[in-house]
Structure 1
């Protein structure tokens, strides 16, 4: 997000923190995801709530009337804060609700210092999908009901991962919002990292890195970006040698495969 939306997001995040301190955060996360799904479906409502010409009090009043008796007071409070803020476009408003849902879902893990585990589990599940085409096909099967997909996720992750991880994977699988499974998992992983106030570096390497190598790389990147770095390491023989590192939109490609690709590009040009 940029401009007005970025400023609004900072205000919403600050307000959300005070709500999370006393709310049933798991329930809050579920309800906020439902609100995001509602806004996805109802285009007219989404546009009206994001229209800066409409009064802020009217927006929060409408949202409260629609949600009353369906969700908790905490959810109405969070949604009211979001719709009263100014957004560059309606999609930014929906993204703010989804972001708040993710933050609420992981609040329990955050309180127990387990955000790093949730990040790792989301990343590992994405890697499992890349190596299990039949599983991926089952989770993306348009003929399967959301309930059936959620049950499959539960059988895979229930009791084996953090409850927040299971909840986020279920959301990605049942309501992808135009993203692929891999994109959804990566996006939620980035939000979890942001909640932990650090960046995620996706590292592709031909061979596994030792603990010492990982620590040196983490330290180097943290100094370069001025923030703690969480490493997601993808061992991929196709890179041939060296490392490819992506932090946000920035890619540092020091792989042999990357250099060969650049040579081929220049020759073709």
Structure 2
């Protein structure tokens, strides 16, 4: 996210906060998220509208008025307010309008989860589902197939998640399937997870181990990582018998590999290299 996009998004995000706080916070964040996502898909699929809503030759107030005319009577006043807040900003790329709307929809859905005490649960469920998809080639292919109807892929995700997962997890996974501008499902889901971490002012660590770690071991690891990174660290544990022993920790692009399999591979490389 470059600095220009960050500034524009920050201003647009204020519109979301205003909408959610309106009338004593009575607006349903989940409904708002669904409507904002619907507008994002509308903008993403209509090149002429997308260009008009991001036209730098027009004043931001003119673009906001155009959005209001297009959406009046079709979505709630809160959604109109959010969309006007987005298109009033100056974006370097017309496609950024849809991207910003999708991101704000995610924020609204996460707000709904937080209000119901499910934010950490949603983050954990999204991570586990992403790993299931990654480890199931047939499922990955089905969700990534651009020839398949989005409705069919959404139905598949709902069947897989709706029984046990939080409603916000289902909604976010479904939105990832219907990614904008041909975005890959796994990348969209990863972006949503990053937003969930940012909302909780923490970073995500993927911990790979041959056996499950005890809660005491995880707490010791979280404390050490939190001291090192200066922020709260949320751990997602992946069990992989191939590592033999030890653990591997991934935070963003940083990898600390202390597994036995890695050490053996390094020893073999030095002996044969």
Q: Distance in 2 between matches of 1:216 and 1:31?
A: 42
Contiguous gaps of at least 5 residues in structure 2: none
* Contact 2:28 2:112 (C-alpha < 8 Å) held by counterparts: no
* Contact 2:5 2:91 (C-alpha < 8 Å) held by counterparts: yes
Q: Give the superposition deviation at 1:102.
A: 0.5
Deviations 1:189-223 (A, max 9, x none): 11122222222112223332221111111112222
Report whether the alignment pairs 1:186 with 2:190.
Answer: yes
TM-score, normalization by structure 1: 0.87
- 259 and 225 in structure 1: CA distance in 2 versus 1, 3 angstrom threshold: same
Report whether the alignment pairs 1:72 with 2:83.
Answer: no
Q: Which residue of 2 aligns with 1:115?
A: 119
Q: Which residue of 2 aligns with 1:33?
A: 37
Backbone CA RMSD of aligned residues: 2.7
Match for residue 140 of structure 2 among 136, 145, 149: 136
Q: Distance in 2 between matches of 1:99 and 1:268?
A: 49
- 130 and 45 in structure 1: CA distance in 2 versus 1, 3 angstrom threshold: same
Aligned length: 269
| SS of structure 2 residue aligned to 1:106 | helix
| SS of structure 2 residue aligned to 1:46 | helix
Contiguous gaps of at least 5 residues in structure 1: none
TM-score, normalization by structure 2: 0.86
Q: Distance in 1 between matches of 2:146 and 2:180?
A: 12
* Contact 1:20 1:107 (C-alpha < 8 Å) held by counterparts: no
Q: Which runs of 4+ in 1 moved over 6 A?
A: 260-269
Q: Give the superposition deviation at 1:258.
A: 4.8
- 268 and 18 in structure 1: CA distance in 2 versus 1, 3 angstrom threshold: farther
Q: Which residue of 1 aligns with 2:156?
A: 152
- 68 and 211 in structure 1: CA distance in 2 versus 1, 3 angstrom threshold: same
Q: Distance in 2 between matches of 1:6 and 1:142?
A: 30
| SS of structure 1 residue aligned to 2:208 | strand
- 66 and 209 in structure 1: CA distance in 2 versus 1, 3 angstrom threshold: same
